[in-house]
Structure 1
Amino acid sequence: MIDRQALQDRLIAQLAARPEIRSVHTFGRAVSGQPDAYPDLDLVIASSDRPQTQRVLPELFAAISPVRSQLILASSPDLYAAMVMLRDCSPYQKIDLSIIDHIESQARFGPFLALYENSAPTPTNDAPLPIIDLNADLQNQLNDILFSIPRFAKCLFRHDPYLYQRFYATVENTLTLLYESHHDWQMPKRAKLNSREYQQLYAGLKDAERSQVEKILPFDARPDIPQSFLACIDLLLDLYQTKAQALNLSLDDAFNTYIRNFLSTEIRRFRTLPTH
């Protein structure tokens, strides 16, 4: 497996060979002085030709490792942002990147650490970035949840209360999808449920669905958060598979199974840690 430092070094070398790259900066724990065993790789790539940089990203990744999956976070004329998991890296070492014109436009995300700066003048191409229709990509919608699995697992080992936010956000997404299954599947996905829709959902649950929901939110109000999160992911994957079949869309079953099993393995590893 490629560790985080080797991944960073190899990716920076690939980017530095591109004439349009102005700079590459990182941020997050690597800069704030809080590194641990689980940091991902946060990169802000400033480019004088953003469309070209976006086009060559697959080639740059392929020179390091095959891509396991990606989540496109933003696609607009001015910004491309994505998360990428590589096959030869742990999910904890996912790449979180954005392509911009100048680092100054991202000052609110600082402080930054420069990993590469190009002092040579570069021709500027001000053409807008191509826009990707994220509303039509069911796997990308699912990845918006599945890519939070490493973050949830990190929180377990870090004893970070942010895991509750990850847990309840995933529960909310899953129950919204369960509501869709009782009505009409929607693309893009429907908005969050309101209190009346939650009441309708709970009143209309079939026995098997009620049993699945109780594994996530036990009716005795004593959830085992890690196990409940895994049960939530299992139900979510079942619902997305049903939705894909209904809408004649495809999912990346290999990745979905891989990241679900990663979560299960990490929960078992967490259980083996000594208690304090």
Structure 2
Amino acid sequence: MLVNKKLILCYIVAVSIFLNAMKLSEIPQLNKLENYNEIKNVEVERVVDYDNYDRNGKYVYVHGETIPFSGVAIKRNKSNIIGLYFYENGKAEGPAYVYYPNGKFNFDRFYKDDITQTSVEYRQNGTKFRTYKAVDGLNGIRTVYYENGKDIKTVLEVTQDYSQQGMINYILNGKLKVYNKQGQLQGIFNFKNNSMAGLSQEIYYPNGKVKYYAIAKDNNQKNPTFTQKAISYYDNGQEKENCDEVDSGMWMCKKYDKNGKFKGEVQKGGQPIETSNFWANFFMGVLNILFQ
């Protein structure tokens, strides 16, 4: 008898949810949103306040309920809608829209089975700031744009991290490509689990030729040091110095002129090439905006 009562209760809840299905256009203040015309006729099973649900394990539930939530959660700042989050059976499914108080897009994402598939973030002036596109599971490509929202500043290979509840972190896993405003490649940096240690790093001339190639000794991104191999090049692609680490902090460097003629071999202590100005002035600035 107890089992039957539970089944009846679930049925009543399911029927009531179906009967309460509504169009988004019925939500007050929705017409102030930038994409109102696109979403006004969308029907949802249920609408709840953003502060009235929690994630318990893998699923989202409305406070006091035991059935995973399906519908849309609305986040407000005073009377303004600043977020619409869609769920199906307790998981993020479909779009999630976040707005500035004036109704313009802050960002929009698209989820499949709780995992972000695409994401576009916007500056307050409406220009595109950052995008994400899934490639394989949690792995994807994140792109950062200059202030005009068109020219690409950085392209990163990343892995999504959902270990912090309510947050998506992006772990650098692969190549990070940096471009100037003219679209010229400035550097390719390699990462594994947010670390550049033991991986090759390259800086480029404006003409696309490699200027420096080196293997990072550790993950000191502000003032990198190198290990094993470090090469500097002329702007015509010819090697200038080719250095091998023969002992800890001790390098033997073969020197060449711009035509490839061997000039001799020298021993160097410390670091054989100097790239700290690039890191300090540009590279770290790129990293700062990626994860703010």
Using the size of structure 1 for normalisation, the TM-score is 0.26
Q: Decide which structure has greater strand share.
A: 2
Q: Which has the higher contact order (CA 8 A, sep 6+)?
A: 1
Flag the structure with larger Rg.
2
Using the size of structure 2 for normalisation, the TM-score is 0.25
